[in-house]
Amino acid sequence: MGRINGQNLKKTIDYLRRNGVGSTLCAVRERLQGEGEAYAYQPPSPKELERQRTRRWEEKVRFTVLVPAYRTPEPYFRQMVRSVLDQTYPCFTLLVADAGGGLEEICREFGDHRIRYQRLEGNRGIAENTNAGLALAEGEYTALLDHDDMLAPDALYEMASAVCRERGQEREPWMLYSDEDKCDGEGKRFYEPNRKADFDPELLMTNNYICHLTALRTSLARELLLRGEYDGAQDYDLFLRAAQAIRQRGGAVCHIPRVLYHWRCHEGSTAANPRSKAYAYEAGRRALQDYIDRQGWRARAVDLPHRGFYRVEYQGGLFRERPEIAAVGGRVLDRRGRIIGGMMDGQGRTLFRGLPDGYSGPMHRAALTQSAQALDIRCLELREECRELWQEISGFPYEADPQTGLLAWRSLPADTDYRELSLRLSRELAARGCTLLWDPQRKERV
């Protein structure tokens, strides 16, 4: 977004203090040039909402919408409650775990039996307040909702539909999450849609991209609980641990590519003022380090220039610590310093094509380490055990550049189809169950 306002100015000053003039000028230039998509949130039509309300469900999935509240401004709280009661899916309970008091009468005013109010004995922090609510949750899934945010009217409908769809394909969803956007303090203007990636544990180690709206199997949430030592990033810590537990149990994490959650921005919220909760980003890095340590990796979590984004640096070497990773790729840049290759989709299309080096792209995705469907051989390092496969596919022995350690692609014949060869190698590695990793800090100019 290229708008200049007080909110963006605060973020720019904070960035300057941490990263210096050069990086800040690059970030500002990207922001001013990148207007992003023209966006206006469009709720489902009245006809579609009515269709959802009258749908007959063969399987009814029950949700508890858990809201830990503490001194919530009354207008925000009323809007939040109304957004839940207006859901087109009927099988839910709104559970308000109130640590500050004063909200019980408002809940009664709505006169809806689906609201359950619980006054907590004092404020014990967001994690413990949420855990107190989890102990009372009755639904099969618990959806986490902040006390000043709002749900789209079809949020739970889409969640329930996804559960039924996944089960119909013999997959058991343990965690579901949706796209989101932001809204102003009045809850009337919506902007900055966050179109999220499908579940990627590598990307999750760079930031809490899952965020809102998230629903977890209640049994799993109760087993793991939120940890108070990570307050501010307690949900990130929970999602990291949940993702690990789900993988171990063969369950599924389901992404719903629809904006179902409106994150309210007001003074004091992390979304509007990154310095207002700087502790949250430090807590996020500690949560990631805890996750790394539990994997047994010799590695450390470090901050990236943008707040709340991280990188894992492997002290023992990536391939040594991560035997499941077969290849690591990076950015392929032209002479002007723009991306022309690197991470590709399954059809060979280059992601972030044309983006100048130093730019981070929408939601900073271009600056984050993540899984890849395919990698460009012109900026590629292959695990030693996989180099024989390279020779089988290409017909040439694997040679590494002595300075960079990357595949010496320039020694290949001039008529080599780099895209096709990249796809063939990537597909064969994926078929063998290997992980391909894209590291944007690795670069090759052509």
The answer to the question of residue 34 being in a domain is no
Backbone angles phi, psi at 441, to 5 degrees: -80, -10
Q: Supply the range of the domain harboring residue 385.
A: 323-445
31 half-sphere exposure, CB direction, 13 A CA radius: 18
360 burial (CB, 10 Å; 0-12 / 13-18 / 19+) is buried
Residue that finishes a domain, picked among 264, 282, 311: 264
Pair of tokens at residue 236:
């990130």
The answer to the question of residue 436 being in a domain is yes
Q: Are residues 242 and 345 in the same domain?
A: no
Distance CA 221, CA 144 (A): 11
Q: Are residues 64 and 152 in the same domain?
A: yes
Per-residue pLDDT at 7: 57
Instruction: Say if residues 207 and 309 touch (Cβ distance below 8 Å).
Output: yes
Q: Are residues 415 and 341 in the same domain?
A: yes
Per-residue pLDDT at 38: 85
Bridge-based pairing state of the strands 214-217 and 173-183 = antiparallel
Treating both helix axes as pointing N-terminal to C-terminal, what angle do 418-431 and 387-394 enclose, rounded to 10 degrees?
130
Q: Are residues 231 and 327 in the same domain?
A: no
Q: Are residues 233 and 334 in the same domain?
A: no
The answer to the question of residue 237 being in a domain is yes
CATH of the domain at 253: 3.90.550.10
DSSP one-letter string for 348-360: -PBTTTTPBTT--
Q: Are residues 134 and 232 in the same domain?
A: yes
Which of 136, 69, 133, 67 has the alpha carbon at shortest distance from 99? Answer: 69
Backbone angles phi, psi at 420, to 5 degrees: -65, -40
Q: Are residues 250 and 390 in the same domain?
A: no
Per-residue pLDDT at 8: 61
The answer to the question of residue 277 being in a domain is no
Question: From residue 311, how far is each of 205, 216, 288, 302, 332 by CA, in Å?
Answer: 7, 26, 9, 5, 20
Q: How many domains does one find in the chain?
A: 2
Q: Are residues 333 and 436 in the same domain?
A: yes
In sequence order, the 6+-apart residues with CB closer than 8 A to the CB of 314 are 297, 298, 299, 320, 321, 322
Residue that finishes a domain, picked among 216, 240, 264: 264
Q: Are residues 418 and 332 in the same domain?
A: yes
In sequence order, the 6+-apart residues with CB closer than 8 A to the CB of 270 are 276, 277, 280
Residue that finishes a domain, picked among 226, 246, 264: 264
- Partners of 68 in beta bridges: 97
Distance CA 43, CA 309 (A): 30
The answer to the question of residue 150 being in a domain is yes
In sequence order, the 6+-apart residues with CB closer than 8 A to the CB of 131 are 225, 226
Per-residue pLDDT at 16: 66
Per-residue pLDDT at 403: 87
In sequence order, the 6+-apart residues with CB closer than 8 A to the CB of 300 are 289, 292, 312, 313, 315
The answer to the question of residue 309 being in a domain is no
Q: Are residues 104 and 238 in the same domain?
A: yes
Q: Are residues 210 and 68 in the same domain?
A: yes
The answer to the question of residue 146 being in a domain is yes
Q: Residue holding tokens 């022309």?
A: 340
**Per-residue pLDDT tens listing for the chain (446 residues):** 445 555 566 666 666 666 676 666 666 666 666 655 689 999 999 999 999 999 999 999 999 999 999 999 999 999 999 999 999 999 999 999 999 999 999 999 999 999 999 999 989 999 999 999 999 999 999 999 999 999 999 999 999 999 999 999 999 999 999 999 999 999 999 999 999 999 999 999 999 999 999 999 999 999 999 999 999 999 999 999 999 999 999 999 999 999 999 999 866 555 555 555 788 999 999 999 999 999 999 999 999 999 999 999 999 899 999 999 999 999 999 999 999 999 999 999 999 999 999 999 999 999 999 999 999 999 999 999 999 999 999 999 999 999 888 999 999 999 999 999 999 999 999 999 999 999 999 999 99
The answer to the question of residue 143 being in a domain is yes
Q: Are residues 206 and 90 in the same domain?
A: yes
- Partners of 67 in beta bridges: 96
